[in-house]
Structure 1
Amino acid sequence: MLEIAQSSVTLTSPQPFIDTCGIYGVVDTCLVATSDDEKQTLQEGVGPLKDGVWQEIRSIMAAFLRGCGYEESTSPPDDELRRYMASEVASWNVALSTSHAAKIADTASHFIEAAYAHTSPKHRRYVACYTAYFIYADDLGGGNLESLQQFPRRFISGAKQLNPVLDRLAELVRYAHELWTDTGAVAIATGTLEAITAFYTEFTTRTMIVKPGALRYPDYMRLRSGIDPPFIAFLFMRDWRDTAESYVQLIPDMEYWIGAVNDVLSFYKEELEQETNNYVHLRAAAEQAPHLTILRTLAEEIVQTTRRLDRLVEDDAELATLWRGYVQRFLEFHVKAPRYRLLELGAVQ
């Protein structure tokens, strides 16, 4: 998930958020390298990463994007959605700084503008809120771990959550069936419970050493913490097709695809941050292999999955249009979002 740094200024209304960071382009001002020296360091591959490591990561990323058939594009901003999310985050009544709130609202809006542009306005608002709640929830382990631990039991019993944002998440999930198929609504509900539990597990096992040979553990954690089933379910509005029979066989590969793509395209910025409890490093520890070898292998596995899915959708024109468009927009989000630093890396060639 997305890490958002806290600061000390409390957000009390949507207006300071809008005035400070604007409706569009908040990520550009809040999440990129802040000095010419830092940008030069990233571009030259010196600093946190050795030059050879930097070059190899860039080579892997560039080959990966080519293999997935990525074509440069820019999705237009949805100003109405951004105003809605500014007001939504401002109404949470939790101790968020202006910049933290701006980053949450902007990241959620940017993601939906790109990856879910094919959905209706009400669906986009739902997915944007869901995304924002999870960005916030990912930070709770550092200050309110109990709220994550108790979320599933309180959701099942209908009890009030220990955090007002988690209350909103629980309420949102309960009416998923109104917008998505029954299959999709179940994926949204179960995927939410598994992801919140995985966040708790990730935080409480940060110092755990992965045992060599525990080969399924990295996939176990990735499948739960990645929130992949809900975000694939969000693709298929009930208004598009009322049941899932025409694409249900593809769902496992689709869920794998979005989680694994994020693992690859977030790797560079995580290496700069010296993060080692991600999928690539967990798998490297379990397989006793160099982490860049795992990164390259994973990238090749995803390219094969991309091609397989492309073949599987080709006999259904509507499904092919939806899925192929999603692939491009999902990749676009990661390439264009400054937080992943892929343009600085030179991954798009």
Structure 2
Amino acid sequence: LIESAHKYASLDVRFLYARLTALCLFLDDSIENGLFDDVAMFSHRMYLGQKQQHPVLALYQATMQELSDIHGNDTVLRDLAVLPFIVHIDACMIEMTLEVSLNTRGDTRDKTSQQNLPALAPKFPHYLRSKSGIAEPYAALVFKASKEQELPLIRYVRALPDLLFFLEVNNDVLSFHKEELAGETHNLIHLRTQSLVSVRAKGTGPDGHWTTQDTVQLLCNELSETVLRIDGLFQLEKCERKMRGELEEKDGVDDLDDVDLQIARQWRIARDGNIAYHLDCKRYKLEFLKQAVMDGN
């Protein structure tokens, strides 16, 4: 993912993110396999300055400290890049605790079973997703490709909510096929389906009931709109025309400076790289979708 979506990042930054990403995946998968107590105490020990008892958690904390150092005195980007890795550990515990209570009474894929599901507030699926996900560090990486790079906050902060939505939901939509094959139902798509069923949203299922496929289509539409907004905020098309030498003075070529071009360039590779990573990675089992894209479908 780091190599695909953040090619402009320096080697040291890419290495830190790759290490943290791998550790997050390992810890998330290991909570139920002997690490529960240590993971549960991770943030507490960190806040009190106590030593982490498990070597993997000690490495995780040390790597976060290295990432913090990369950001120097840039408080905003440091908070975006580092804090979510701390919250992620606690959120995994929350997610595991909620998984049983949210999914034991029904299945969002079955109309009859849907009636047994507990009602969810419409915003709850995205709330839980934002807690357990770690989109913010990868958003920060779009604007801090190296220790030396300094991009003014005012140029990109307005796009952050949309950028976070893209990173989270793009992953969830492109992970959905793999999770369906594995029988997983505790994800954004099933939870949002559950919340929309709760408010009796009209869908394409029998008798107009809302289905998971309706949710997938809804999220795809929202993703498309989000990407277009980010492209517009970063003046992507105009910046790329300037980089290709196609802009003239009458087109506003002088309105764009090096900072605009850097942000546009790094956003483009992050946008396309995130999608390409999911299509190329065998973990997601999307060979059929990649072929359809290549065939122009």
Please state which band the TM-score falls in when normalised by the shorter chain.
Answer: 0.7 to 0.9
Instruction: Point out where structure 2 has 5 or more consecutive residues left out of the alignment.
Output: 103-116, 198-209, 236-255
Letter in 1 for 2:39: L
Aligned twin of 2:169 = 260
Give the TM-score of the pair, scaled to structure 2.
0.76
SS in 2 for 1:205: helix
Alignment of 1:214 onto 2:121: yes
The 8 Å contact of residues 172 and 188 in structure 2, kept in 1 or not, is answered as yes
Which segment drifts farther, 328-337 or 212-221?
Answer: 212-221
User: Corresponding residue for 1:336?
Assistant: 280
Larger RCO, structures 1/2 (Cα 8 Å, 6+ apart):
1
Which residue is equivalent to 2:83? Answer: 190
Structure 2 CA distance for partners of 1:308 and 1:242, relative to 1, 3 Å: closer
* Matching of residues 75-154 of structure 1 within 5 Å: 111-143=1-33, 144-154=35-45
Q: Are 1:283 and 1:294, in contact at CA under 8 Å, matched by a contact in 2?
A: yes
Structure holding more helix per residue: 2
Normalised by the length of structure 1, the TM-score is 0.65
Looking at structure 2, the residues matched to 258 and 318 of structure 1 have their Cα atoms a distance apart, in angstroms, of: 19
What residue in structure 2 maps to residue 165 of structure 1?
A: 56
**Partner secondary structure for residue 50 of structure 2:** coil
* C-alpha distance after superposition, 1:5-26 (max 9, x if no partner): xxxxxxxxxxxxxxxxxxxxxx
Identity of paired residues, percent?
29
Contact conserved, 2:142 with 2:263, CA < 8 A, in 1? no
* Aligned counterpart, 2:191: 282
Q: Does 1:245 align with 2:154?
A: yes
Maintained 8 Å contact 2:7/2:269:
no
* Preserved CA contact (<8 Å) 1:115 1:330: yes
Cα distance in 1 for partners of 2:66, 2:169 equals: 28
RMSD: 1.6
Taking the aligned partners of 1:233 and 1:128, their CA distance within structure 2 comes to: 14
1:223 deviates by 0.6
Query: What whole-Å deviation, never above 9, does each CA across 1:124-163 have from its counterpart, x for those lacking one?
Result: 1111111111011111221221222111111111212232
Contact 2:6 2:266 in 1 (8 A): no
SS at the partner of 1:139? helix
Contact 1:212 1:287 (8 Å CA) reproduced: no
Distance 1:290 1:179 in 2: 45
